[in-house]
Amino acid sequence: MVASKTIIDRASKLLLDETNVRWSTTELLDWLNSGQNEIVILKPDTHVTVVEYQLVAGTKQSIPDGTSDFQDSSDATVDAGIVLLDIVRNMGTDGETPGRAIQIVDREIMDSMNPDWHGDTASAQVLYYMFNNDAPKIFYVYPQQPSSDQGYVEVQYSSKPTPVDSYAVDSYIDLDDVYENVLLDYILYRGFAKDNSQESNAKAAAYYSQFRAALSGKDQMEEVIDPNIPIQVKSASYK
């Protein structure tokens, strides 16, 4: 695990401010947390929550919002979500019974084949779900959930990282350790941007470009090693 102090000390050294006169550790910590958030916004799979929770009556559903309206089978409130990634399977009406896999379908196809599907007979077991990227926190299920004893589903979604609460050796980032250098680039971008001089602005732009490039490069590498993509397709894509 990477401590906040490790990253912030590296940033202070590169900013030529190891005593934190110009850029305080509090300010650098704020930027570290902002960097975590921006990484997840740009690359949602960097912070994924996998949890089961109970659906509500009807077809329209949403990912957790961090309130007690969304709880797992042990009645614990689950993390707030940013964007839905996948709905894997049914988990019964108790939240602990693995059941049928859930498939994603195109809502336009569903609408054309069965315009009245929102009113079909209710069932706690979900067969299909529908999702639109324009509404990343909303999804629809088929068939609709009953008015009581709704089913639980196992959901994967991108969630907001827990803020690092202090500059310390035992206060760790909430992303994988591989993002240490990416976070460092983000902090340096914010630090140099604060000076607002021609030279500093150029450095800020360079660090932000490096920050974005690192995330883009990781996306490309993940495509290369994605086990869901046949080897022949991978080879053709990178010729």
Identify the DSSP state of 54: E
Do 81 and 148 lie in one domain? The reply is: yes
Number of structural domains in the chain: 2
Do 36 and 53 lie in one domain? The reply is: no
Q: What whole-number distance in Å separates Cα of residue 221 and Cα of residue 219?
A: 5
**Packing angle between helix 25-42 and helix 198-225, nearest 10 degrees?**
40
Do 98 and 168 lie in one domain? The reply is: no
Provide the b/e sequence for 26-46 (b: ≥16 CB within 10 Å).
ebbbebbbebbebbbeebbeb
pLDDT at 103 over 70: yes
Residue 229, pLDDT score? 56
Do 200 and 136 lie in one domain? The reply is: no
Do 71 and 113 lie in one domain? The reply is: yes
pTM above 0.85, yes or no: no
Do 14 and 91 lie in one domain? The reply is: no
Do 173 and 203 lie in one domain? The reply is: yes
Identify the DSSP state of 119: G
Do 113 and 192 lie in one domain? The reply is: no
- What average pLDDT does the chain have? 91
Residue 196, pLDDT score? 81
The SS3 call for residue 178 is helix
Q: Do 17 and 120 meet the contact criterion of CB atoms below 8 Å apart?
A: no
Q: Do 186 and 199 meet the contact criterion of CB atoms below 8 Å apart?
A: no
Do 61 and 152 lie in one domain? The reply is: yes
pLDDT in tens, 46-95: 999 999 999 999 999 999 999 999 999 999 999 999 999 999 999 999 99
Do 62 and 147 lie in one domain? The reply is: yes
Mean pLDDT calculated for residue range 151-157? 98
Domain residues for 209?
A: 4-44+163-237
